[in-house]
Amino acid sequence: PATSLQDIVGHAKEYGFVFPSSEIYDGLQAVYDYGQNGVELKNNLKAAWWKAMTQLHDNIVGIDAAIFMHPLTWKASGHVDGFNDPMIDNKDSKKRYRADQLLEGKAEQYEAEGQSEKAKALLAEMGRLLSAEDLAGVRELIISENIKCPVSGTTNWTEVRQFNLMFSTQVGSVAEDSSLIYLRPETAQGIFVNFLNVQKSGRMKIPFGIAQIGKAFRNEIVARQFTFRMREFEQMEMQFFIRPGTEMEWYEKWKEARMKFHKAVGLPAEKLKFHDHEKLAHYANAAVDIEYEFPFGFREIEGIHSRTDFDLRNHQELSKKKQQYFDSDLDENGKPYGNYIPYVVETSVGADRLFLAAFCNAYTVETVGEGDSLKERTYLKLHPALAPFKVAVLPLVKKDGLAEKAQAIANSLKSSFRTTYDDGAAIGKRYTRQDLIGTPFCIAVDYQTMEDETVTIRHRDTMEQERVAISELKEKIGYQVAI
Ligand code: ATP
């Protein structure tokens, strides 16, 4: 049977990956906590991204900027005036929806019914109305498409209103305008305002990039689908600063590079695709999403945007500080390119969405055995580099020195790989426990180990076992757990 989101949510909670926030108080909508295994998987994804960006590129460096920023930052970025979602309420159920999501849902329905042209036309019309900020038109479209509230079943809709997604709070004790501060809705601006600091202190030459991983906050109108749409989430963003006129070339390069990354962390090609935007964000002149096929359909996990000089130019205007770069390279006439505000191509991926994609992709239920011994086997087929534990060391029995031997092996592996030791139940049960959290290698210590210093390695996906010398373990496991 196909995996449902409920299976995923259930497994994530039961095995220590994701818990609802403040659960003892019945939770907080669209906020989640990562558990003991979830934090490892998420950290491994972040480490893979950080390595792909900073270690594998000589011209990309990282920063870690604060969540709080000067309020003018968000004026310059366009978020104060333009970071809105169109919302609509159903008068009967009093439920609030995102108008664009209602229309996208209808388009998906057309698509499912084989009416692809109709779906495309609807999305195009929606894009046109939203770009023109024709909110009355958006409402008319919802009504003419006969879109019903999923709760009340009626078409009794209010006006469409714009709703700003930024959270604000007060800094200091005086509640006046100047102390109003926002929780950053994206990490990108921390990079833009530090562009010259990094460029100068690192003597960076264009083209170069700045990468950052950090929390972002959005007051999403409809928060659902688990860690796909949260109000507090984590972004992994990289702004690549380039010479104006070269943006399409870099846009194409980063599109390919980012698609490659998702495949390298184990997402299969057939579950990934590019999706061009129907409506460009206020800052972009070209934009594409990388989508992954979740149990609820193809959805965005990463955005790649050509942002031109929109952000740096606006920061220059509001801060009155020049945001220029002097390019000493020579143009075709042999003259230096000179001073300019760089263009930017950005790659922006949500750590939580990537986590959910990796988790959904790994969740596997298989039927194993034959005849009367047919049974279901559930395991997480995670890329070994992402697994919370790489190795579990399991003594066949506790007595006759096997437990001590297994502990000694676990201790010798610990500093190289995250290793766990378990002697708590029948060996089959212990294998199952590791399968459920995605441990790729289980090492069993048996009586033969005591005689010849060999152990068995059991491979998670095939359940096959091989006999290996203890002295070879590090090397054997090491090359399989790297990306
Ligand atoms: P959507 O259209 O789904 O709201 P977006 O286009 O607004 O997403 P961007 O502003 O491009 O998203 O943000 C870049 C990335 O940040 C997204 O690809 C996504 O992975 C992640 N992201 C954005 N909003 C959320 C959220 N509410 N919860 C989790 N991740 C998010």
- CATH number assigned to the domain comprising residue 233: 3.30.930.10
Number of H helices, E strands in the chain: 16, 23
Domain of 147, in residue numbers? 84-161
Residues 40 and 90 reside in one and the same domain: no
Instruction: Kindly state if the Cβ of 218 falls inside 6 Å of ligand 1.
Output: yes
CATH number at residue 448: 3.40.50.800
Instruction: Kindly state if the Cβ of 83 falls inside 6 Å of ligand 1.
Output: no
Instruction: Kindly state if the Cβ of 229 falls inside 6 Å of ligand 1.
Output: yes
Which residues are annotated as part of the binding site? 98, 186, 218-220, 228-237, 300-301, 346-353
Which one-letter amino acid corresponds to residue 68?
Answer: F
Residues 156 and 170 reside in one and the same domain: no
* pLDDT value at residue 178: 58
Please name the residue whose Cα sits nearest to atom 6 of ligand 1.
303
* pLDDT value at residue 256: 97
Residue after which a domain boundary falls, among 125, 143, 161: 161
The CA distance from 103 to 146, in Å, is 10
Which one-letter amino acid corresponds to residue 209?
Answer: G
* Most informative mutation of 235, 279, 349 for ligand 1 (most atoms within 8 A of CB): 235
Residue 217 sits at φ, ψ, to 5 deg, of -135, 130
* Most informative mutation of 85, 166, 300 for ligand 1 (most atoms within 8 A of CB): 300
**Distance from the CA of 33 to the center of ligand 1, in angstroms?**
18
Which pTM does this prediction carry? 0.92
Question: What is the 8-class DSSP label of residue 183?
Answer: B
* pLDDT value at residue 307: 94
Residues 305 and 331 reside in one and the same domain: yes
Do residues 396 and 402 touch, judged by C-beta distance below 8 A?
yes
The one-digit pLDDT tens for each residue of the chain (483 residues) are 688 999 999 999 999 999 999 999 999 999 999 999 999 999 999 999 999 999 999 999 999 999 999 999 999 999 999 899 999 999 999 999 999 999 999 999 999 999 999 999 999 999 999 988 899 999 999 999 999 999 999 999 999 999 999 999 988 765 555 578 999 999 999 999 999 999 999 999 999 999 999 999 999 987 779 999 999 999 999 999 999 999 999 999 999 999 999 999 999 999 999 998 866 777 778 999 999 999 999 999 999 999 999 999 999 999 999 999 999 999 999 999 999 999 999 999 999 999 999 999 999 999 988 888 888 999 999 999 999 999 999 999 999 999 999 999 999 999 999 999 999 999 999 999 999 999 999 999 999 999 999 999 999 999 999 999 999 999 999 988 888
Please name the residue whose Cα sits nearest to atom 21 of ligand 1.
350
Q: What is the ipTM score, two decimals?
A: 0.98
The CA distance from 447 to 402, in Å, is 7
Which residues are annotated as part of the binding site for ATP? 218-220, 228-233, 300-301, 350-353
* pLDDT value at residue 89: 95
Q: In b/e form, how buried is each residue of 346-368, taking b as 16+ CB within 10 angstroms?
A: bbbbbbbbbbbbbbbbbbbeeee
Closest ligand 1 atom, CA of 300? 18
| Mode of pairing for the β-strands spanning 419-421 and 441-445 | unpaired
Residue 420 sits at φ, ψ, to 5 deg, of -125, 155
Residues 55 and 202 reside in one and the same domain: yes
Residues 126 and 222 reside in one and the same domain: no
Instruction: Kindly state if the Cβ of 214 falls inside 6 Å of ligand 1.
Output: no
* pLDDT value at residue 197: 98
Number of domains in the chain: 3
Token duo for residue 148: 């019903």
Residue 119 sits at φ, ψ, to 5 deg, of -60, -45
Residues in the chain: 483
CATH number at residue 142: 3.30.40.230
Q: Is residue 366 part of a domain?
A: no
Do residues 307 and 209 touch, judged by C-beta distance below 8 A?
no
Question: What is the 8-class DSSP label of residue 44?
Answer: H
C-alpha angle 357-361-362 in degrees, rounded to nearest 5: 120
Residues 153 and 173 reside in one and the same domain: no
